Structure 1
Amino acid sequence: MVQLMVTPESSLADVPVWIQASGLTPFQQVTLYLSLTDEKGVKFESRAFYHANKAGVVDVKEACALGGDYSGVWPMGLFCTMKPDKMFHRLMKLDVMGSPFRVQINLFDSFVLLPSSKIVPLATCTVERWYAAPGLKRFPIKEGRVRGALFLPPGPGPFPGVIDMFGGSGGLIEFRAGLLASKGFAVLALAFFAYDDLPQFLTEIDLEYFEEATKLLLNHPMVRGPGLGVIGLSKGAEIALAMCTFLEQIVAVVCINGTTAMTGVPLYFRDIYIPAVPYSGEKLLVTDTGALTNYHVMGDPREEKHQASLIPLEKASGHVLFVIGEDDRSIHSKLFAEVSLARAKKYGKNNCTLLLYPGAGHLIEPPGSPLSNITLIRGAPKPIRWGGKPEPHAKAQEHSWKEIEKFFKLHLGPAGKSNL
């Protein structure tokens, strides 16, 4: 009897999944086909072709995929190579608390590119991928000027606190915060424009808003001080670096593929003003796919015109972890990070760590997330090219996620215990 086993059948979305088919004939040709439909109704799918071994088993931990969306031995290949049926769409969990992504995995006889109702699978199963651990609580935040969502792990607390921010598309993105909170952190997913009654467009960085968010989180009875962590991607990484530089409460920052200068919009904080390097719109390129690449728009941080806009990292007393994809096609993030590190060392600072990932693109997310090479974002006239190659990008996500958790535990203290 043919059987398809997936372990675990229900888990957090950052947990690796093991797929094994048995009961096949020796050396039988089969297809493993994965599909899910997101909350916007967009279908994502992937497939891989295998030969069973002489015992009639396909074990993705050992078997070599012969083709499809990937080849070679790659246990999480089906998850990491999913592609949408709607072009330029990014897989992103919207309702973190209410439901998981339900992923269907089918086993087909022979090699099947496009399943249809006429092709009956040999076996099928459904996998649940959650973004919130059992007992996790979410609280909408609308206090003073601060807008976002606070995630608290189960248990008595208090928990180490982390602020989570994304980039230039604005809005409130919560899936990473839910997963981090599931590790035992109290996480504030923080919006800073294009959400609720916040400004629809980003015209400046008012660091007092982020200071207010910092104090709000630290004053929560379930949050353990005296310091907080911040994690940011892209524009969020730029802001995170500024927070670490000017806010003494911020003691650990993870900057994922951001600039280390104020770009596009200036920063204000009491009597501090950092002017922005204007975007060089004439350097915006349209690729042969019709997507935009911003790679040269930010300019070169070594140029004279950037010097007044560089974030003075030497003033930061906290620790900084730069997570950099070397195939980032949106920002020359490696160069920005290296310039910032050199500046810190010039002033005798040794509080920065650089993680470089060859082949990884801009959108480095929790493990198991498929590569988003080109997507649409709010406010952009065309899709944006982010870069990245599927397998090295996936490896970067797996490794960096573990390093991020270790980094926060090292500098914020151990995370809370939860019934994960």
Structure 2
Amino acid sequence: MHCSTKALSLLQSVNPTTQVISKKIFPFFRAASKSRNPFDQSRNFFVRSAIAPINASAITFDRRALSAGQISAGNVPVWSGSGNCSLYSSSAKSGGPTIVATPQVCLQDVHTTLTIQGLDPSVPVTVRAQVSNDNGKKFCSHGQFVSSAAGTINLDTAESVGGSYTGVFPAGLLTTLGPAPGEFPYLRLYKKDPMQAWQINMTVHSGHHEVSNESPPDEVCSVLLTRLLMAPGVTRHPVRHGRVRGVMYMPPPQYGPAVGVVDMFGAVGGIMEFRAAMLASRGYAVLSLPFFAYDDLPSVPHTLELEYFEEACHYVMAQKNVIPDRCGMVSVSKSTDIALLLSTKVPQLTGVVCISVVHVSYDTNITYNGKLIVQGVKLGLEHMTTDEKGRLYPNAESIFSNFLRPGVEQAGMLRLVEASPECRYLIVAGSEDTWLCYMCVPYVQQYMERHGREQNLESIIYEGAGHIIEPPYGPHIIHTYQRVLPVYKEQVPKKVENPDDFEFPGGDHGYVTGVPVLFGGKPKETCDAQVDIWHRMQKFLDKSVRDCSPWYQAYLRKNNDN
């Protein structure tokens, strides 16, 4: 457990009532009978999987209104296509075992069940997942199983006895995908181009094998999973408008006015579009918004102009077929301070999601209308430490004593009391986040309570989850290689014997670059958190943005009258 017991006790000393989710997570689905939006069910894009290769023109949307009672963990939205389709395909030797994928072709946020049939009773097998990223780098995972008396293995219920994970973990092979042997160990697996689907090869091998550079022997059957980040009908539009840079993802226009969302990642920099594409596939109009290290934007986030983010919100609301008077924002880690601050300046921003929330602005000065409104709290390298593998992360005791003292409102803390009373916040963090975002949650809770705004806040700490909580069934990112880290070099952590191990860019910003960073968390618990926050944030955005929009309510009345 990377989150120390002492750190957790410090958290409880701040707010012993902090909500922690540790039970098994089930997806949240909106109930048609309770929804105020007649178009809600257009987001449940049910598509049956066509046998690969995909014929996108043959795939259609089904707007059947289903109540929550009709949708369960075992009956999730899947792809649905026209014509004769199969939910699976597999290759095997004639008369030999087969592997069944249900569904084989689906959106990335849909669970796929893998079942192996036709094995001899009680025989050991290894199931391996293999995929390449957009640059051709290879990633893999594997589980070791023993067939049942009937000669079958259902990966939703079967226990892995070895490999990349152990125990019963239905999404284990997807969640534990990591760099293959021989690849750089800190590679991060994500889709740079969401228009291209994941192609994940699942193979079954006789006996128990470990992953190596050589293919395991005795392959008995295989199946190719196709997992799409963009539903058919979703469109992608590069944005270069005024000062705004990014990519806009629009859902099919025939499903009514969409909730507009600005989507930002954190200190990774550049642009990451996959979450925007996936949200658009569920009916949202989403701008993937970079704020440094992209196009002509600043190379590092030393000073940021809040007008850039304000203009992004207005750009989204100005799009055709988007609710024009309210919008939402999804932020992660480094961008959460921006989202919180922006809510105090843009009254139309009424739904703010903060994943791995930070309640102060670390290492970034923020200006508005030419004036400095937030002086960034300087986080020096002396507050960092490293583990035995040289991976950097904050020292919990140092962070707590210097930045998170109970009852103290730091100068850099964001004044959410200045936000519109309509604005709602959903803030979450993992209890094993090595970057200690779970410590920020009770501070925001206390702040909102002191100012009578506690009803505007929903907060969750996911037990066992790490810092990186992405959309469902993405890999568990326990560590990565950070190009730019907004941490200053002043002193070297005690565990760092050679300061030359860290590279620092020129100029006066003094940020750390080129360093392996530890994010923490357990695979299954992080996967559960991904599934929960994905559905929870959609429900939250609908309620806080769409249902609070006077324009949308007038739109509903007009359509009901007609």
Give the TM-score category using the shorter length. over 0.9
Q: Is the 8 A contact 1:138 1:150 kept in 2?
A: yes
Which residue matches 2:464? Answer: 359
Q: 1:373 aligns with which of 474, 478, 492?
A: 478
Q: Do the aligned partners of residues 218 and 117 (structure 1) sit closer, same or farther apart at CA in structure 2, a change above 3 Å counting?
A: closer
Q: How does 1:25-44 map to 2 (within 5 A)?
A: 25-44=120-139
Q: 1:403 aligns with which of 530, 536, 539?
A: 536
Question: What is the CA–CA distance in structure 1 between the aligned matches of 2:235 and 2:530, rounded to whole Å?
Answer: 26
Q: What SS does structure 2 have at the residue aligned with 1:122?
A: strand
Which residue matches 1:221? Answer: 320
Q: What SS does structure 2 have at the residue aligned with 1:308?
A: coil
Question: What is the CA–CA distance in structure 2 between the aligned matches of 1:221 and 1:301, rounded to whole Å?
Answer: 44
Code of the aligned partner of 1:48: G
Give the TM-score taking structure 1 as reference length.
Answer: 0.94
Per-residue deviation, 1:277: 1.1
Code of the aligned partner of 2:382: E
- Pair 1:154-2:249 in alignment: no
- Pair 1:209-2:308 in alignment: yes
Q: How does 1:297-308 map to 2 (within 5 A)?
A: 299-302=402-405, 307-308=410-411
Moved more, 373-382 or 339-348: 373-382
Q: Which runs of 5+ in 2 are unaligned?
A: 1-94, 485-512, 553-562
Moved more, 251-260 or 290-299: 290-299
- Pair 1:342-2:442 in alignment: no
Which protein has the larger Cα radius of gyration, Structure 1 or Structure 2? 2
Q: Is the 8 A contact 1:22 1:57 kept in 2?
A: yes
Q: Which deviations, in whole Å up to 9, do the C-alpha atoms of 1:90-114 show, x marking residues without a partner?
A: 11100111x1111000011111213
Question: What is the CA–CA distance in structure 1 between the aligned matches of 2:373 and 2:404, rounded to whole Å?
Answer: 18
Code of the aligned partner of 2:232: P
Q: 1:322 aligns with which of 427, 435, 438?
A: 427
- Pair 1:61-2:194 in alignment: no
Moved more, 62-71 or 32-41: 62-71
Q: 1:276 aligns with which of 376, 386, 400?
A: 376
Q: What SS does structure 1 have at the residue aligned with 2:482?
A: coil
Which residue matches 2:346? Answer: 247
Q: What SS does structure 2 have at the residue aligned with 1:341?
A: helix
Code of the aligned partner of 2:427: F
Q: 1:109 aligns with which of 206, 211, 216?
A: 206
Q: Is the 8 A contact 1:35 1:44 kept in 2?
A: yes
- Pair 1:309-2:412 in alignment: yes
Per-residue deviation, 1:168: 1.2
Q: Which deviations, in whole Å up to 9, do the C-alpha atoms of 1:96-145 show, x marking residues without a partner?
A: 11x11110000111112136457231001100111111111000000100
Question: What is the CA–CA distance in structure 1 between the aligned matches of 2:514 and 2:133, rounded to whole Å?
Answer: 24
Which residue matches 2:29? Answer: none
Greater strand proportion: 1
Per-residue deviation, 1:302: 3.0
Code of the aligned partner of 2:541: F
Q: Which deviations, in whole Å up to 9, do the C-alpha atoms of 1:257-293 show, x marking residues without a partner?
A: 1311121112222356121111132112122111111
Question: What is the CA–CA distance in structure 1 between the aligned matches of 2:147 and 2:167, rounded to whole Å?
Answer: 14
Which residue matches 1:95? Answer: 193
Per-residue deviation, 1:76: 0.8
Q: Which deviations, in whole Å up to 9, do the C-alpha atoms of 1:162-220 show, x marking residues without a partner?
A: 00000112111101111011110000000111101111121212111111111111111
Q: Do the aligned partners of residues 376 and 135 (structure 1) sit closer, same or farther apart at CA in structure 2, a change above 3 Å counting?
A: same
Per-residue deviation, 1:245: 2.2
Identity %: 32
Code of the aligned partner of 1:286: T
- Pair 1:21-2:129 in alignment: no
Q: Do the aligned partners of residues 304 and 358 (structure 1) sit closer, same or farther apart at CA in structure 2, a change above 3 Å counting?
A: closer
Question: What is the CA–CA distance in structure 2 between the aligned matches of 1:51 and 1:9, rounded to whole Å?
Answer: 23
Q: Do the aligned partners of residues 118 and 264 (structure 1) sit closer, same or farther apart at CA in structure 2, a change above 3 Å counting?
A: closer
Per-residue deviation, 1:25: 0.8
Q: Do the aligned partners of residues 159 and 71 (structure 1) sit closer, same or farther apart at CA in structure 2, a change above 3 Å counting?
A: same
Question: What is the CA–CA distance in structure 2 between the aligned matches of 1:342 and 1:118, rounded to whole Å?
Answer: 54
Q: Is the 8 A contact 2:323 2:546 kept in 1?
A: no
Q: 2:390 aligns with which of 277, 290, 307?
A: 290
Question: What is the CA–CA distance in structure 1 between the aligned matches of 2:519 and 2:412, rounded to whole Å?
Answer: 24
Q: Is the 8 A contact 1:360 1:389 kept in 2?
A: yes
- Pair 1:333-2:437 in alignment: yes
Code of the aligned partner of 2:417: E
Which residue matches 2:49? Answer: none
Q: What SS does structure 2 have at the residue aligned with 1:70?
A: coil
Q: Report the aligned-residue RMSD.
A: 1.8
Q: Which deviations, in whole Å up to 9, do the C-alpha atoms of 1:376-418 show, x marking residues without a partner?
A: 121223101111111111111111111111111222238x9xx
Per-residue deviation, 1:294: 3.0
Question: What is the CA–CA distance in structure 1 between the aligned matches of 2:236 and 2:460, rounded to whole Å?
Answer: 31
Which residue matches 2:545? Answer: 412
Q: How does 1:68-217 map to 2 (within 5 A)?
A: 68-85=163-180, 86-97=184-195, 99-114=196-211, 116-117=214-215, 119-156=217-254, 157-217=256-316
Q: Is the 8 A contact 1:277 1:306 kept in 2?
A: no
Q: Is the 8 A contact 2:424 2:457 kept in 1?
A: yes
Per-residue deviation, 1:255: 0.4
Q: Is the 8 A contact 1:300 1:306 kept in 2?
A: no
Code of the aligned partner of 2:418: K
Q: What SS does structure 2 have at the residue aligned with 1:370?
A: coil
Q: Is the 8 A contact 1:210 1:243 kept in 2?
A: yes
Per-residue deviation, 1:306: 5.8
Q: Is the 8 A contact 1:18 1:75 kept in 2?
A: yes
Q: Is the 8 A contact 1:28 1:110 kept in 2?
A: yes
- Pair 1:230-2:329 in alignment: yes
Q: Is the 8 A contact 1:21 1:58 kept in 2?
A: yes
Q: What SS does structure 1 have at the residue aligned with 2:219?
A: coil
Question: What is the CA–CA distance in structure 2 between the aligned matches of 1:295 and 1:375, rounded to whole Å?
Answer: 18
